[in-house]
Structure 1
């Protein structure tokens, strides 16, 4: 996908969509070749548009986009074509919220036109795990993706050495990952993992072994969830993500007891 001229289709996912007019959309796409890009999908809302059934979240697409011929400096590209590239069924239920959570992270943390092919591949490999019936697998996949994301955008310190000193971690000693300090020796009352676990996570990252990284995360979910949430919120500058608020509200509604049947007629 070229920013100047339409070329061969390139893989991408829809992260977010906005109404542009009665017939068109503005889309944020996560492209393997160009990273996060914004495109105008003209006529995509029309009933018979070929784009209408294709531009869905969590579905792998092949897209062609380029800058308008009259404005080679435009930040918003024009979507020339988009085709479904095959893949998994649509996410539903809790998996849908998890997917939108990943999309919100990418929207807020990725700069436009900054390619991250390894992160794109991790995103594509994470989506199937979100729909798994095993909650441990889903949570491990989310934590692994967060780790890959933080590393890809340069916000994750080396995990097999202490950040301040550069000394290798001791296998049996506990360490914590703190947003403002990096990897440091454990302090009472905060989530920590042994040095051997941190080093194993680093090794999986270095080898690009996402499945291994997910397996390691599954063995340390409580500590990693607390740690990574703090790290992400620190760099986002926000105490809570919008998707997380929606998830919490939905969960409270599902957990609420059903109202008692009324013996009086409705008003």
Structure 2
């Protein structure tokens, strides 16, 4: 039986398993996405019940060698309050992306650190002002770490280096290519190169967030449109549940 003790992790999703237990999908630093059964977690007296919350840093312990492991312990790592409003929905959106794009038991320590940094941003007092840039930064890093983002330093098919003033578009099936006259969304080569440099930094989330925030307003809108199309393609089509929820709330407002 394999045992893991006090592993840094976050809860991505949970669902009922029996009358008293739940299955937890967790994102851990050293083991990637893991499925854990938390026995008795629905009981009022369970120690798991107040701890297994999303967007909170946890230390999890589990055992077993089946596809779904048995959760043995869960402790709050402290330091964060639960985001509210738009930052909370943005956190659920990031969780859904991880659920869609990460295979189980596939470790991504650099992506885990980026996600942890995103959670800190969403829980901060500046979350409302930073949430859009933080999400674009996380989307870029998620796509790159899962192998879905081509190099942003050269055209994908020709390997020709980007020209700073030329326009380029990121397309799901063709990678980064020169923009056509009828393309509605693109960034100039200088912008793509700045984003590529930012993602190579030791603290990629904060550096990429800053790079996105420094883009002109139209370039930020174009980046969002291109990343949305790429994520839609690699998530298998269909609107994400959290995205649909955001649109519904905006229509009500």
Match of 1:260 in 2: none
Residue segments in structure 2 that go unaligned for 5+ positions in a row: none
Query: Which whole-Å deviations, capped at 9, do the CAs of 1:128-181 have from their partners, x for residues lacking one?
Result: 322454645110000000000000010000001011111110111111111111
Normalised by the size of structure 1, how large is the TM-score?
A: 0.88
For residues 162 and 222 of structure 1, what CA distance do their matches in structure 2 show? 21
1:249 deviation in Å?
1.1
Query: Which whole-Å deviations, capped at 9, do the CAs of 1:203-231 have from their partners, x for residues lacking one?
Result: 11122432221111122420111010000
When the two structures are aligned, how many residues end up with a matched partner?
246
Match of 1:39 in 2: 36
Match of 2:156 in 1: 163
Provide the alpha-carbon RMSD of the alignment.
Answer: 1.4
For residues 61 and 190 of structure 1, what CA distance do their matches in structure 2 show? 43
Tell me, what secondary structure is at the counterpart of 1:21? coil
For residues 111 and 223 of structure 1, what CA distance do their matches in structure 2 show? 29
Counterparts of residues 1-267 of structure 1 (less than 5 Å): 4-67=1-64, 72=65, 74-131=66-123, 132-133=125-126, 135-188=128-181, 189-208=183-202, 209-218=204-213, 219=215, 220-253=219-252, 255=253
For residues 17 and 93 of structure 1, what CA distance do their matches in structure 2 show? 21
Tell me, what secondary structure is at the counterpart of 1:65? strand
For residues 62 and 56 of structure 1, what CA distance do their matches in structure 2 show? 12
| 1:139 and 1:221 in contact (8 A); partners too | no
For residues 249 and 91 of structure 1, what CA distance do their matches in structure 2 show? 20
Residue segments in structure 1 that go unaligned for 5+ positions in a row: 256-267
| 2:63 and 2:70 in contact (8 A); partners too | yes
For residues 207 and 110 of structure 2, what CA distance do their matches in structure 1 show? 15
Return the index of the structure with the highest Cα Rg: 1
Tell me, what secondary structure is at the counterpart of 2:75? strand
Shift in CA distance, 225/34, structure 1 to aligned 2, threshold 3 Å = same
For residues 187 and 216 of structure 1, what CA distance do their matches in structure 2 show? 25
Match of 1:265 in 2: none
